[in-house]
Amino acid sequence: MKREENDAFSRCHPAVGFTFFVGAIGLGAMIMHPAYIAASAVFAVTYYCLLKGARGMKLVALSIPLFLFLTFANPLVNHDGQRVLTYVFGKPYTFEALLYGMVIAGMLIAMILWAGCYNAVMTSDKFMTLFGGMIPTISMLLLMVLRLVPNMLRKIGQLAGARRCIGRGAAENATKKEQAADSLNVLSALMTWALEGGVITADSMKARGYGTERRSSFQIHTLTGQDICLLGTMGVLTVMIVRLIALGGTAANYTPIMEITPVTGRYVWGFAAYCAFLSLPTVLYIKEAVQWHISRSGI
C-alpha cells in the first residue's frame, strides 16, 4: 500500500481535501508576511515528507539550493533598500532585498510542496466525484489533459529504451547531430502514438454512447461526521484568517522601506488560526499513527 493511501487525511471525503488545498495554496499566495511564509513552508515540508517518505525528503533536500539561489540572487537585480550590506558590481546589495528574496523563495517552495501534496491526495477519481456531476465534459477534459503529460513522459522513456535495445538509439559517444536525430525520431513516434491514441479514445467514447444522454456516475465517497467536522473547522479558521488579513495583521512591505506587522497582541490569534488550518492533515496523520501504535501495544 502506498503511503498516500495509508494517510488519514487522504481517506477523507474529496470535498475536505479540495477545500484544504484551495485554502492552503490560495492563502499562501496572498500573504507575504515572513512568519506566515515560514509556517506554510514548515507544514508543507512536514506533510509532504509524511506522504512521500524518503522520496519526499529527497525533494526537500533538492529544494534547498533553489531556495538559497533565489534568496541571494534577488538583491542582485533588486537594489532597493536602506541597509546596504555590500556592493556587487558597483550596485548596493541590501538587507531588505535579501529578506524579500527569502520570502519569495519560501513561498515558491511552499507552493511546490503543497501542489505535490495535492497531486498525492486529490486523485482523478476524487476530482470526478466533486465535479463530474456539475461539469462532466470539462471534468473529463481536465483529467485527460492532466494525465497527458505524465503519459507522454512515460512513453518517451519506453520509446527511447526500445530504440536502444534494437541498436537504433544514439550511442554514448554520439555527436550532437546524432543525438538530435535520435530525439526527432523519438518525437515523431511519440506524436504518432498520441494521435493514434486520440482516435482510438474518440471511437471508444462514441461506441459507448458518450454524449447521447445525461452522464451517470458511481461514487464511493460519502460524507462522514469527521468530514463535516473538518469542513466546519476549516470554515471557521478561514473566516478568522480572512478577518486578520482585513485588519492588516499580515501586512508586509520590504522595499524600499521595510515595514512588517509584528505577530503580537491582537494578531496572535490570527497566526494561530493560520497554523491550525495548515496543520490539519499532519495532525490527522499523527493522531492515527499514535492510535495504531497504542492498539498494537495492547495486543
- What whole-number distance in Å separates Cα of residue 181 and Cα of residue 187? 10
Q: Which of 51-55, 101-105, 153-157, 170-174 is the most confident on average? A: 101-105
pTM over 0.85? The answer is no
Q: Write the DSSP symbol of residue 299.
A: -
pLDDT at 266 over 90: no
**Percentage of the chain exceeding pLDDT 70:** 89
Mean pLDDT for 44-59 is 89
Main-chain dihedrals φ then ψ at residue 97, nearest 5 degrees: -65, -35
Q: How many helices (H) and strands (E) does the chain have?
A: 9, 4
**Interval 187-213 mean pLDDT:** 81
pLDDT at residue 61 is higher than 70: yes
Each domain of the chain, given as residue ranges in start order, spans 14-126+223-297, 133-207
pLDDT band for 168, please (50, 70, 90 cuts). confident
- What's residue 54's pLDDT? 84
Ranges 163-172, 203-212, 233-242, most confident:
233-242
pLDDT (mean) for 248-255? 88
Whether the predicted pLDDT of 4 surpasses 70: no
Residue 52 pLDDT greater than 70, yes or no? yes
- Of 31-40, 61-70, 84-93, 140-149, minimum mean pLDDT range: 140-149
Q: Give the C-alpha separation, 32 to 41, whole Å.
A: 12
In 3D space, the residue among 32, 189, 41, 166 whose CA is nearest the CA of residue 111 turns out to be: 41
Evaluate whether 295 touches 262 at the Cβ level (below 8 Å). no
299 pLDDT tier (thresholds 50, 70, 90): low
